[in-house]
Chains A and B, each alone.
Chain A
Amino acid sequence: AQSVTQLGSHVSVSEGALVLLRCNYSSSVPPYLFWYVQYPNQGLQLLLKYTSAATLVKGINGFEAEFKKSETSFHLTKPSAHMSDAAEYFCAVSGGSNDYKLSFGAGTTVTVRA
């Protein structure tokens, strides 16, 4: 079975500062990993995904994430926060290409201070 743990349910950053959201996974097979963003009263939107190609993955809106097998981590970063980045972020894992299901973390809410 696969699972993810997101460290920190709330993160507050200043506009222009680094955004770092932590995700650790557990998987018995090589995982596929995803980050999603949810704006208020909306569904989830895919930010980026790792599917066993390059370990540094670039996504939309300036976000990127690095897959580190030795640390079982897939942390999400953005060099400079913008007010529009205020949202809830979810890390998710599936058990590779043969696994239909995504397992989600509990989510991290990001607030951006002016």
Chain B
Amino acid sequence: DVKVTQSSRYLVKRTGEKVFLECVQDMDHENMFWYRQDPGLGLRLIYFSYDVKMKEKGDIPEGYSVSREKKERFSLILESASTNQTSMYLCASRGGQGHGYTFGSGTRLTVV
């Protein structure tokens, strides 16, 4: 089975800090994604990457950036964390056309 591993389950950061969320997949998938999940809003796409060093903005990219230097790793960066970025962050990878995504267990980020 594909595994998508997010480095932290829970994080607490202070307003203004630079925050790195890490995601690693072990099945050589080309496509990787970062979503945030908020009650009543479902999952909203922040950024995605369809190949190494390639990235595209999703629906809500403001305040975020990403890095994909290696195929297996996709990092989400909060340049200056704010309280409205308190959320559950989910990473996913996709194994080709018509395949569903495989999700990590999520990182619950609290910004205080």
Binding site for B on A (CB under 8 A): 9, 32, 34, 36, 41-46, 49, 51, 90, 92, 97-98, 100-107
Contact = CB atoms under 8 A, between A and B. Distances in A.
Given A32-B98, A100-B94, A101-B58, A43 B42 contact: no
Nearest to B6: A43
B103 A44 contact: yes
Residue from B33, B50, B102, B103 having most chain A Cβ neighbours under 10 A: B103
A41 B6 CA distance: 13
A4 to B, nearest CB: 9
B10 to A, nearest CB: 10
A106 to B, nearest CB: 4
Interface size class of B (residues with CB under 8 A): 20 to 34
Contacts of A44: 43, 90, 92, 101, 103
Contact of A100 (B31, B44, B90, B100): B31
Given A32-B98, A100-B31, A102-B101, A43 B41 contact: no
A107 B42 CA distance: 6
A97 B97 contact: yes
A45 B33 CA distance: 15
Given A34-B100, A98-B97, A106 B90 contact: no
5 contacts: A43-B105, A44-B92, A51-B98, A100-B48, A101-B45
Nearest to B49: A100
